Structure 1
Amino acid sequence: MPPAGILPLQPAGQVDPQPGVEGMFHQILQAVQQSHVEIADLRQECTELRLANASLERQVRDGLHYNFHVSRNATPGFITPAPPSPQLRAAMLSPFLSHNLPNLGSLVPPESPYRPSRLGDNAPIAFPFGTRDIPGFYVVIPAGGAGTRLWPLSREDHPKFLLDLTLKGRSLIQATWDRLLPLSSASRTTVVAGPGHIKAIHEQLPDLLMHNLICEPGPKDSMAAIGLAAAILAVRDPNAVIGSFAADHMISGDDAFLSAVAEAVEVARKDYLVTIGIAPSHPSTGFGYVRLGEKLEMKEAPNARLVSSFKEKPDARTAASYIATGIYRWNAGMFVTKATFLLELLKEYKPDLYDGLQKIAAVWDDEPARHAVLNDVWPGLEKIPIDNAVAEPAAAEGRVAVVPATFGWDDVGDFSSLADLLPAEANQPRILGDNHLVVTEQVAGGIVVPGSGRLIACLGVDDLVIVDMPDTLLVTTRARSQEVKRLVKKARDAGWKHLL
């Protein structure tokens, strides 16, 4: 029997015996009922098509990532080998051991040929100089961080630059050291870090000379750290050209990197503060931007331009408009200049900061005097980034240049960014560690860190961030991974400082 209120369907070919208005009424109801049935079928088909289409889009998107190695912050030339996840089994121990964390494993991927982009008018395809050592060039590596953006994987006493985030067996600071060493040698490579990280840095960089490991008493942002190194190096070598490169950034394409730095050094010798601009792959709201100005027309640096202006982190619409013009580059915070020229800019724009750093540098080699002056001067120094202190005002006066880069770069600023740098099978989450500890069913995207050694099982959840450490579990989404440091603040306020 049909449900109450619904008339039985008339068999096909059978004529309704009821004449007149009543028969017509039954036929209309029958047609309406049939329409309802067909509409329900269509709705079901549409739902199934939408689900299938969404699944196909994810597979295509992840498939493109897998096949062509395109990461979120990838620039042309950023080649990240992406073997299937079974190859992620540990080949060697990672530098997590000093953090008392389980071995997350590491990967030594097959070599991938570097493919330079055509960013610059004179984009180099190979390092154009006979030797990679640049006489008179000193590398400065600021190594700071509170360990908040990748918490609980990173901590205050073990920030991300001390971690092996690429599964290659080397931490980020070790990779930075390896990359820059050919340019300056160990004798001309300096690291600036806080007292809580000195021991770990010395353990990870045993070839770093102790007099080149500069300890700043407390965090004062990049201007004080780089300025202190410049002041000390200017005393040691008045003709020193310094290059500042963060300890926790990832770079690929060594030839293009070396070429960009070599050009920057040539421009810096002519009294410019030089930055290196990264070709943006998408309208990021997480980076500052550099607006390219006129060409400098230097034979030794054919790609170099003046910096028209620096731009703070924009909103999405503004970032998209920057990309559309083709004359903006990401500001990666890399600066090359004469040590004495940087101090001249600092004296002009931030005289109090200049005076304080000069007092410290004058007594640096006298350890008792150094500690006394540091204790007296350092707390009163202004906390300010190098961009705001000297780069922006100097750019307005035509004293800052930029070398557009043709290498790949990523600052690994959150778990979403980290996920894009890890290999994975198509339509699967990225795994930082032992992939045998992660079991998934109908899960796409996201990143899982099985750091506690226990099994993590996920069913029907997409784009999650799961960081399972022995003492802490973090669960969020990739879309909100930049907000992790807010969670760290709440945990601190709630009395969990010992876990931070």
Structure 2
Amino acid sequence: MLKSDRYCVIMAGGIGSRFWPMSTHKFPKQFQDILGTGRTMIQQTYDRISRIIPKEQIFVITNKEYVALSHQQLPEIPEENIVGEPLMKNTAACNLYMANKIAEINPDATMIVLPADHLILKEDIFLEKVELAFDLAASHDYLVTLGITPTRPDTGYGYIQFVEKKGSDYFKVKTFTEKPILEIAQSFLESGDFLWNAGIFIWNVKSIHHAFDLYLPEMMQHFMACEYNSAKENSCIETIYPKVQKISIDNGILEKAKNVYVIPSDLGWSDLGTWTSVYENTEKDENENAVNLKHFLNYNSKGNIIRLKNNNKAVIIDGLENFIVVDTDKALLICPRDNDQLIKDYVLDLKSFKKGDKFM
């Protein structure tokens, strides 16, 4: 395929409430330097894909309130390539919206869709797999995804089951499974024909349009009403979005389509969905504490992750094991690492306080 037919869409609309109190409504996780690398999550995603796709052909779709923040963090991307959704409608709507915009520019385009907030340590392998995916999607009517080789029976990820085809580096997808219970995740791992669903998709604009025609025709109808990349686009999108179904691309298209293929990939990947996943991917001291503090005294404490907005504070910890401690201007979180999935619930409970929203 021609390199000029390759496009990228970075999805950056989430709120990241499991990363409260660092991630807030005004400043969600994808715009933060969660791992302390000097680049935010969305900047790292851009850095990675811009090695093989020109910046003029990289788009960002986000919530309209994060458009300015996206411009600020990715000044390299043309302003018109950063698109704000008027409402959060899950991933089917934003995928169709961007496929329409790109198809209007280039009807032969093949596009990769990337979450803005994932960690990929093995970048060269990632780009190699993406090259293969682009070639497959450009030359066949395939919907392609990268599946992550699982390292443990994780209940926080969706799974992709594939049909074995010996001697190939890609496989036909048999089933998609939402986050399973531990026993089922264990059996998936043992069977050897399941991969983690990383939410990375590659398809030709014609193939994805055909899939929407088949499986979400009503959504397709709504989006066909707009003139893309024109002065009328914005008001049309504002009009149709309230009518559009709220459904993920996985549920709406991929679970039903018969032409989905997966490329098994060992990428050093994490969706960095929880504080524990950040802990696992951060350098630790001799006591297994993940801290990046200038003035830290530790007594009998191990296995903690500690994040402060102000790193000039002195921090002294005694007798704390396997805890999350996150301190920001507005809030302090202290909870066991094992309870990191409950942070969403803490945030909901906090909202019930009088003026609780100011802490979000």
- TM-score tier by shorter-chain length is over 0.9
The letter for the 1-side match of 2:251 is N
Q: TM-score, normalised to structure 2's length?
A: 0.96
Match of 1:480 in 2: 339
CA contact (8 A) 2:61 2:82 kept: yes
Alignment partners' CA distance in 1, 2:329 and 2:314: 12
Match of 1:287 in 2: 157
Q: Does 1:190 align with 2:48?
A: no
1:421 to 259, 281, 306: 281
The letter for the 2-side match of 1:373 is C
Shift, 1:404, TM fit: 0.5
1:382 to 230, 245, 260: 245
Alignment partners' CA distance in 1, 2:86 and 2:34: 27
Structure 1 or 2: larger strand share? Answer: 2
The DSSP-based 3-state class of the residue aligned with 2:115 is: coil
Q: TM-score, normalised to structure 1's length?
A: 0.69
Q: Does 1:272 align with 2:142?
A: yes
The letter for the 2-side match of 1:281 is T
Alignment partners' CA distance in 1, 2:335 and 2:289: 14
Q: Does 1:228 align with 2:86?
A: no
Shift, 1:281, TM fit: 0.8
Match of 2:348 in 1: 489
The letter for the 1-side match of 2:301 is V
Q: Does 1:366 align with 2:226?
A: no
CA contact (8 A) 2:101 2:229 kept: no
Alignment partners' CA distance in 1, 2:195 and 2:16: 27
Match of 1:84 in 2: none
2:15 to 128, 133, 146: 146
CA contact (8 A) 2:162 2:175 kept: yes
Match of 2:307 in 1: 449
Shift, 1:213, TM fit: 1.1
Match of 1:168 in 2: 37
The DSSP-based 3-state class of the residue aligned with 1:233 is: helix
Shift, 1:134, TM fit: 3.4
Segment of structure 1 superposing worse, 383-392 or 288-297: 288-297
Shift, 1:358, TM fit: 2.0
CA contact (8 A) 1:450 1:456 kept: no
Measured against aligned partners, the alpha-carbon deviations of 1:437-466 in whole angstroms (never above 9, x if no partner) come to: 432211110201122443332211200101
Q: Does 1:342 align with 2:208?
A: yes
Alignment partners' CA distance in 1, 2:91 and 2:234: 21
Alignment partners' CA distance in 2, 1:305 and 1:183: 24
- Alpha carbon RMSD of aligned pairs, Å? 1.6
The DSSP-based 3-state class of the residue aligned with 1:375 is: helix
Q: Does 1:324 align with 2:184?
A: no
Q: Does 1:212 align with 2:72?
A: no
The letter for the 2-side match of 1:304 is Y
CA contact (8 A) 1:304 1:401 kept: yes
1:388-403 correspondence to structure 2 within 5 Å: 388-394=251-257, 397=258, 399-403=259-263
The letter for the 2-side match of 1:443 is S
Alignment partners' CA distance in 1, 2:178 and 2:238: 33
The DSSP-based 3-state class of the residue aligned with 1:393 is: coil
Measured against aligned partners, the alpha-carbon deviations of 1:109-143 in whole angstroms (never above 9, x if no partner) come to: xxxxxxxxxxxxxxxxxxxxxxxx93411111010
Shift, 1:417, TM fit: 0.7
The letter for the 2-side match of 1:278 is I
Alignment partners' CA distance in 2, 1:365 and 1:443: 56
Alignment partners' CA distance in 1, 2:22 and 2:335: 14
CA contact (8 A) 1:143 1:161 kept: yes
Structure 2 unaligned spans of 5+: none
Shift, 1:489, TM fit: 0.9
The letter for the 2-side match of 1:446 is N
Shift, 1:470, TM fit: 1.9
Alignment partners' CA distance in 2, 1:254 and 1:454: 35
Shift, 1:296, TM fit: 8.7
Measured against aligned partners, the alpha-carbon deviations of 1:405-434 in whole angstroms (never above 9, x if no partner) come to: 021101111111111111112323111x4x
CA contact (8 A) 2:104 2:229 kept: no
Structure 1 unaligned spans of 5+: 1-132
Alignment partners' CA distance in 1, 2:296 and 2:245: 47
Alignment partners' CA distance in 1, 2:19 and 2:144: 30
Shift, 1:374, TM fit: 1.9
Measured against aligned partners, the alpha-carbon deviations of 1:358-404 in whole angstroms (never above 9, x if no partner) come to: 223xx23332x22331222111111111000100000xx3x100001
Alignment partners' CA distance in 2, 1:258 and 1:266: 12
Match of 1:39 in 2: none
Q: Radius of gyration: which is bigger?
A: 1
Q: Does 1:471 align with 2:330?
A: yes
CA contact (8 A) 1:267 1:304 kept: no
Segment of structure 1 superposing worse, 485-494 or 282-291: 485-494
Alignment partners' CA distance in 2, 1:426 and 1:454: 21
Q: Does 1:408 align with 2:268?
A: yes
1:39-58 correspondence to structure 2 within 5 Å: none
